[in-house]
Structure 1
Amino acid sequence: MTHSTEALAAAGWHDGRDVRDEALSAVLKTVALVEPVTDGRKWVFFPAAEQALREFHGLRIPAVGSGRDVASTGCVIDPVEARNALRPLTLLGESLGVRLFPLGRTDADALLAVDEEGRLFSIDHGGRWQLGETVAEGLVALAEGQAPRRVAARRWAWDAPSTAEGKPLLNIVRTALVATYVLHHRRAFSARELRLTVTALRGIGVVTLDCSVPLPAGSLEESAPPVVGRMEAAIASEGAPMNGSELRVTVCAPPGTAAPLSSLFCEVRAGHSAVAPAAAEISLSAGAGGSVGRAGTVAQRCAEDLARYAEQ
């Protein structure tokens, strides 16, 4: 036995454990005793939660040693212990694009929850965390003090290469089209438009133009000139001042893109620096859900691709 298996076994767990009646009774108490919320949210029970509770409900798992990476901690598996965390767990689930159900509470008073994919998550005073890809893995991590993965928004930024000297708008549009390809290639989403924002005073003043320009059919390499032409026409039509303004082109997920991939977006800007107004910057952002699971992998690969592009 490994130390982690010993901790689970010492708490009463064994392979094939099934406390169906006790688990379902706890589920009924959890749903019935939850405090009402104004937006009508409620707990939704799903198969992964049932499986986890039937296997682990009622266990009090002790900590093992001082911890490998962080302090080890024990926990109790009982959804009633976390029943009043409907709002924070619902918000976490929305960022992940899944539903969560309360599972219990740690000895350090952190909330435990399982999602529809069977992953174990926690919320404490330090933030939101993924403890394991499975409930068993997460409970082992708690008992042994293995470092969890933080569920939080991420942002990367690089200096963009210059491909059109003296033409900052063309330069950032070309870079934005590269980002469009990367997001499509990595199966995040296929953007259908680029958003142009012109902001006075190097990006800290008023927004003088905010418009979307659809991407034309055909290859992305051939899209830059017509897209720039439409943007220049919009700038002229609105009389947006270019001198001393920040130009920002954003690649956003199209409507209907599901969370958490919908939280990914890429921005390319120029004119934000008075010292080097022609210099361009490219950045990639991902919401909290883009830090774990498939979305986290997609975001990381997109970041790696864009970093290689920036090094050119």
Structure 2
Amino acid sequence: MTAGAESLAAAGWFEGRDVGVEAQLAALKAVTLAEPVVGGAAWEMFPAADRALREFHGLRLAPAGPGLDVAGTGCVVDPVAARHALRPFARLGRATGARLFPFGRTDADAPLAVDEEGRLFAVDHGGRWQLGETVREGLIALAEGRAPHRVAARSWTWDAPSEPGVTPLLNAVRAALVAVYVLHHRDVFSARELRLTVTPLRGVGAPVIDGRGVPLPGGSLTESAEPVTAAMTELIGAAGTTATGAELRVTVPAPGDSRAPRSSVVATVRTGHAAAAPGAVELSLAAGAGASVGGARTAVLGCADDLTRYAGPASA
């Protein structure tokens, strides 16, 4: 048994613990005492929170030593102690696509919450943190001082391959189509279009084409590159501008019906942005904070690995 597990047992936890009505009354009190917030957000009970509170409510966990990675921290499991943190946990829930319910408070005054997947989270002045994939795992990690996982947005950038003798726009579209395949293969989302933005490098810097969508044709993505490039070239001509002397940005957006956190993922390719190398193609992948936990995190990291194999190491 680890030191954290011993601390949990010393606090009164045991396999099969169920405080039943006591936990339910505490949850009801937390809901009714929470102050309303702008937008009408409110605490909502769900099965994972009910199970977690029935098992752990009322425990006062002590630190299990000085800490392995960070300082070991105790906590109290009582949803009333975290009821005031509705706003930050509501924002976190919107990012992750999973509701949260107040769970307790650490000795360092950080409110705790459990989400619909049964994961334990904390918020403090330093950010938002996932403590564990389960409540028990999170409580043990807290007591032992194991480093939590920061819930934060992340991005990567690569120098994408460019084929000599073809237009920079075609090279950009080809790189974007690689991203389309990777995002689909990793089950992030299946893109339905590419969006084009054209910004002249001279003048006021305002886009002359701002996110115009070009639908992806059916069939092979490899065969789609030239017709998509032709459609974008027509858009550029119709706007009365030229691809020369302009930054061309091709974006792979999530479809409109995508849900958080995968909807926060976007791949972007740009070319013409560097005067010294106008044909260079830059590929980037960005994911919102919600995609830094759970299955979405696994999928996004897989995409980053795939794009590294395609384009080489990401730049700092």
Q: TM-score, normalised by structure 1?
A: 0.97
Structure 2 equivalent of residue 170 of structure 1: 170
Do the aligned residues in 2 keep the contact of 1:156 with 1:283 (CA within 8 Å)? yes
Q: Match for residue 6 of structure 2?
A: 6
Correspondence 1:146-295 to 2 at 5 A? 146-201=146-201, 205-210=205-210, 211-295=212-296
Task: State the Cα distance separating 1:243 from its structure 2 match.
Answer: 3.1
Matched residue of 1:243: which SS?
Answer: coil
Q: Distance in 2 between matches of 1:110 and 1:163?
A: 53
* Cα distance between partner residues in 1 of 2:27 and 2:58: 12
Using the TM superposition, name which of 242-251 and 218-227 deviates more: 242-251
**CA-CA distance at 1:121 after TM superposition:** 0.7
CA distance in 2, matches of 1:253, 1:132: 28
Name the counterpart of 1:61.
Answer: 61
Aligned equivalents of 1:66, 1:144: Cα separation in 2:
8
CA distance in 1, matches of 2:69, 2:289: 23
| Off by >4 Å, runs of 4+ in structure 1 | none
Residue in 2 that maps onto 1:120: 120
Q: What CA distance in whole angstroms lies between the structure 2 residues aligned with 1:309 and 1:204?
A: 35
Question: Which whole-Å deviations, capped at 9, do the CAs of 1:224-283 have from their partners, x for residues lacking one?
Answer: 111011100000101134332110000011111111111111000011111111111000
Match of 1:145 in 2: 145
Q: Helix, strand or coil for the counterpart of 2:274?
A: coil
RMSD after superposition: 1.4
1:23 paired to 2:19: no
**CA distance in structure 2 between the partners assigned to 1:203 and 1:295 by the alignment:** 41
- Partners in 2 of 1:16 and 1:147 — Cα distance? 28
Measure the CA separation in 1 of the matches of 2:231 and 2:103: 53
The alpha-carbon deviation at position 2 of structure 1 amounts to: 2.3
Deviations 1:194-240 (A, max 9, x none): 00001122898111102110001111011011101110000010113
1:103 to partner: Cα distance: 0.3
Q: Which 5+ residue runs of structure 1 have no aligned equivalent? A: none
1:40 paired with 2:40, answer yes
- Secondary structure at the residue paired with 1:84? helix
Change (3 A) 1:42 1:202: farther
Give the alignment's TM-score, normalised by structure 2: 0.96
Q: Could you list the runs of 5+ residues in structure 2 that have no partner in the other structure?
A: none
Distance 1:273 1:305 in 2: 25
Q: Distance in 1 between matches of 2:166 and 2:105?
A: 59
Structure 1 residue 166: deviation in Å? 4.8
Report the more deviating stretch, 141-150 or 161-170: 161-170
What count of residue pairs does the alignment treat as equivalent?
312
Q: Which amino acid aligns with 1:296?
A: R
What fraction of aligned residue pairs are identical, expressed as a percent?
64
2:82 & 2:258 partners in 1: Cα distance? 31
**Other structure's SS at 1:83 match:** helix
Seen in structure 2, the aligned counterparts of structure 1 residues 204 and 63 have a Cα distance that, compared at 3 Å, is farther
- Closer, same or farther: CA 117–227 of 1 in aligned 2, 3 Å: same
